[in-house]
Chain A
């Protein structure tokens, strides 16, 4: 059960992700470099947050064209699990591995705060540890987190249960008042149609270790782990 954390020049949440897999889950994890053309023996890939290539042009615009992303696309096409967090989510939309795009926050401010989310679909490899409709607190830290897709794309995603997390209040109610960045339908995290590529703006790796006070982001990583263990079990 090997995990890979993909590193770009400007990634700054990679060590946090590495720490969660290594120290909190106690599982083998390695860094992958953006120039790598082969990923080696990995079962899940985390594309961490940060400012890949300085966010120049658009967040993720240059990173998604790096050699490692070609390998990540192939990995995902073969059913591998990929999670992009924050800048990682932006990279996945730029690469069209996920629909839509992340625009500048509606209020033009960089947002850095604890954020309540509601789990909108718990039947995925990334969210199975949560209850449907459960609220969790996960920090956000972004300038371009305003999720946008064409209305017909959003309608299709809603129909397919591709929205995993939405910005909400502590009762799990979703409204414009609890939408920090202007995302359509308060979307905070989504999954692709085939259910193996996930992107979210909030940072579950910053709420996975008790020392950081918040721990309910950990469910994302445990969900992935359980899915992999089940898959490996059935392979044998």
Chain B
């Protein structure tokens, strides 16, 4: 069995107010060495197939169709054996 770990992030250059708030929060408790924070989403998708190649093609389709909005988000994923 395979599992896809998908990461969806706001594209570079798009302001991420949530990341900014986390950044400020970390600084307010004393972490001084932070250049920037961006918050994204991680999705774990359990697949019923054992074929890595077809799994990759399918996860690409899932991302393009629903999981990420290409206007403002980019995605990446890895397929793991479980």
A100 and B15 CA atoms in complex are apart in Å by: 15
Task: State whether the Cβ of A115 lies closer than 8 Å to any Cβ in chain B.
Answer: no
CB-nearest residue of chain A relative to B71?
Answer: A101
Report A24 CB to chain B, min CB distance, Å: 35
CB-nearest residue of chain B relative to A94?
Answer: B69
Decide yes or no: A57 and B66 within 8 Å by CB, A104-B18, A105-B17 being known contacts: yes
| Residue with the greatest number of chain A CB neighbours at <10 A, chosen from B15, B67, B71 | B71
**11 A-B contact pairs sorted by A residue (CB < 8 Å):** A58-B69, A61-B66, A61-B69, A65-B65, A94-B69, A99-B71, A100-B71, A104-B18, A148-B14, A148-B71, A148-B72
A185 and B14 CA atoms in complex are apart in Å by: 15
Report B62 CB to chain A, min CB distance, Å: 11
Interface size on A (CB < 8 Å)? 20
Contact A106 B71 (CB under 8 A): no
Q: How large is the interface on B (under 10, 10 to 19, 20 to 34, 35 or more residues)?
A: 10 to 19
Task: State whether the Cβ of A93 lies closer than 8 Å to any Cβ in chain B.
Answer: yes
Contact A62 B66 (CB under 8 A): yes
Decide yes or no: A108 and B69 within 8 Å by CB, A148-B14, A182-B15 being known contacts: no
A93 and B72 CA atoms in complex are apart in Å by: 11
A149 and B14 CA atoms in complex are apart in Å by: 10
Task: State whether the Cβ of B21 lies closer than 8 Å to any Cβ in chain A.
Answer: yes
Decide yes or no: A103 and B67 within 8 Å by CB, A108-B21, A148-B72 being known contacts: no
**Which residues between 1 and 24 of chain B lie within 8 Å of chain A, taking CB atoms?**
10, 14-15, 17-18, 21
Contact with B along A143-174 (1 / 0, CB 8 A): 00000111000000000000000000000000
Contact B72 A106 (CB under 8 A): no
Chain B residues in 8 Å Cβ range of A148 = 14, 71-72
Report B12 CB to chain A, min CB distance, Å: 13
On B, residues with C-beta under 8 Å from A are: 10, 14-15, 17-18, 21, 41, 65-67, 69, 71-72
Report B25 CB to chain A, min CB distance, Å: 12
A108 and B15 CA atoms in complex are apart in Å by: 12
Contact B66 A65 (CB under 8 A): yes
Contact B71 A104 (CB under 8 A): no
A61 and B73 CA atoms in complex are apart in Å by: 12
Chain B residues in 8 Å Cβ range of A57 = 41, 66-67
Task: State whether the Cβ of A107 lies closer than 8 Å to any Cβ in chain B.
Answer: yes
**Which residues between 87 and 106 of chain A lie within 8 Å of chain B, taking CB atoms?**
93-94, 99-101, 103-106
| Residue with the greatest number of chain A CB neighbours at <10 A, chosen from B10, B15, B18 | B15
A57 and B65 CA atoms in complex are apart in Å by: 12
